[in-house]
Amino acid sequence: MSSWWRDAVIYQVYIRSFADGNGDGVGDVAGLRSRLPYLAALGVDALWLNPWYASPQVDAGYDVSDYRRVDPLFGTLPDAQGLIADAHEHGLRLILDIVPNHTSDQHAWFQEALASAPDSAARARYHFRAGRGVDGSQPPTDWPSIFGGPAWTRTVDPDGKPGDWYLHLFAPEQPDLNWTNAEVRREFEDILRFWLDMGVDGFRIDVAHGLTKDPAFPDLASREAGGMLDAALDDHPYFDRDETLAIYEDWRRIADSYEGERVFVAEAWVADASRVARYLTPARLHTAFNFGLLGCPWDATALRAEIDATLGVLAAAGAPATWVLSNHDVIRHATRYGRRSHTSLADAKRLYGTPVDHALGERRARAAVQLINALPGGTYVYQGEELGLPEVEDLPPSVWQDPNRHYADHAGPVRDGCRVPLPWSGGTPPFGFSPEGATAPPWLPQPAEWKERTAATQEQDAHSTLSHYRALLRTRREWLGRGLGDGAPLEWIEAPAGVLAFRRGEVVCYANLSDAPVKLPAGHRVLIASEAVEAADGALLPVDASVWLVAE
Ligand code: GLC
């Protein structure tokens, strides 16, 4: 039997927006526990939770002040233990999000560093450096923060004089750790064990490509840099460096020392699939997100090229693919695909706020999810995509929370639009997100139109996107080992331009991205389709739809 993680469907729980158990307007562990039956019924295999550790929440929990505590906003350590047990009881594995590139500036280590001398051991855990120019008033390098502005902030010495600068690839409240420091490495190994001992099934590694930096601290100068997707270059001073890979060899030994196949998934925004593959050897990490589809427009040629490139290099590495259409950092794919001719992530950023055909976007999103679930490997579901949720592009600036809001023109749109709390039931906000009698509204406002999109409404409708996801994942499970999942190789079938057609074992998948209906092969029956398809022999697959077939 194939290892569970080689073809798992993993549901991303953005915990602050999933379900609010205590009525403070922010999702929490209690809310998530109460909704585990929903997730089990959806048919996913595992949950990945965004960070729940103690945090000042400057970057929604990606600024951790204590890695061994749960933030009171979300619950307590006993709540976390209860969740792990309940999830397992529901047949769901649980993956946490580990944030090793940086801590919060409120972490005890960073506070100690600020209070210590320039050459102290406390400062050696981070990257403190003298500035350049007269009186060190210029940052040590020209590196930009991914959220905008410089990646360095100057400190004030205990005597009140301007001091050294510290590195933060993200917000100033997220100082980068120094991964050549033995204490840093030991500490994180210990944190991994802390949670593995508690029974978690693995970790998503935040900014997995960023941990080590060029010790010479060269300028980027003419290099392109900055955005999450631009970590593209050989010998980049802080992204995708060879030394980072050795860290994961130590981590893998730890995971392997536990029973029950504990796993890692790397968030590595690197140039292409061949660079992703470097993280995935039997001695390093198990999987990494394949983000290639985020950059693809709704175009058969582009999708096929990305699929082939990914499968080619990962097969050589012996690693499974993990297909991703959305997450908490990017514009939801129902919206990307709803922009008629420009539908890649970059296009969606450029066209942010321009008109979207939501019906078209949702239809294509269903076709896309059916396509990726037929591909070799595993898939991710970002919470709410099973409800066909669009990006909320008209949040008023007064409610923005993303730390990149201060630099919106640098980093593109704020990421709050994909983080709006889920609509569960009812006709008005909070749509069941918070319990009856809640004391606070949801932390981001939900659009009134979401009354049409609640889970409760969609459960009653056999043709809803939620019903399609449930049927799709049920069918996928039935056909694991007979073609789908990690099993059979993908064989392309000849098809008209704009149509992706392939066979996996007994299962045949067609996705019609052309502008005309396409004739399906005779002698097959329909397992499931993203839109109504006649059962008749030689039936037509409509535009922007996918179908799975098996021979009669
Ligand atoms: C990752 C997270 C993102 C966060 C950043 C800094 O890219 O997905 O949400 O802001 O790391 O930790």
Average pLDDT of the residues of the chain: 94
Q: Which residue minimizes the CA distance to atom 7 of ligand 1?
A: 207
- Among candidates 383, 518, 485, which has minimal Cα distance to 531? 518
In the predicted structure, residue 410 carries a pLDDT above the cut 80: no
Q: Which residues line ligand 1 (CB under 6 A)?
A: 59, 62, 99, 170, 206-207, 267, 328-329
pLDDT tens digit string along 33-78? Answer: 999 999 999 999 999 999 999 999 999 999 999 999 999 999 999 9
Residue 4: which of 179, 261, 276, 360 has the closest Cα?
261
Residue in the block written with tokens 């993200």? 170
Looking at 230-287, list the stretches that DSSP marks H as alpha helix, in order from N- to C-terminal side: 242-256, 273-277
Q: What secondary structure, in 3-state letters, does 275-326 show? A: HHHCCCCCCCCCEECEHHHHHCCCCHHHHHHHHHHHHHHHHHHCCCCEECCC
Q: Where are the beta strands (DSSP E) in 398-486?
A: none
Output phi, psi for 153, to 5 deg. -130, 140
Do the beta carbons of residue 73 and residue 67 sit within 8 Å? no
Query: pTM value?
Result: 0.97
CA distances to 42, 137, 141, 169 from 133, rounded to whole Å, are 58, 6, 11, 22
Q: Interior CA angle at 168 toward 118 and 238, to 5°?
A: 100
- Domains, the chain: 4-102+182-459 (3.20.20.80), 108-167 (3.90.400.10), 490-551 (2.60.40.1180)
Looking at 173, 267, 362, 402, which residue is catalytic? 267
Q: Which residues contact 495 (CB under 8 A, 6 or more apart)?
A: 501, 510, 518
Phi and psi at residue 243, to the nearest 5°: -60, -25
Looking at residue 249, its pLDDT comes to 98
For residue 266 the two structure tokens come to: 């790397």
- Tokens standing for residue 523: 């002698």
Please indicate whether residue 452 is annotated as part of the active site: no
Task: Please give the number of the atom of ligand 1 that sits closest to the Cα of 328.
Answer: 9
Query: If you average pLDDT over residues 119-137, what whole number do you get?
Result: 96
Digit-coded pLDDT (tens) for 205-259? 999 999 999 999 999 875 554 444 444 566 889 999 999 999 999 999 999 999 9
Q: What is the pLDDT of residue 220?
A: 87
How many angstroms separate the alpha carbon of residue 145 from the centre of ligand 1? Answer: 12
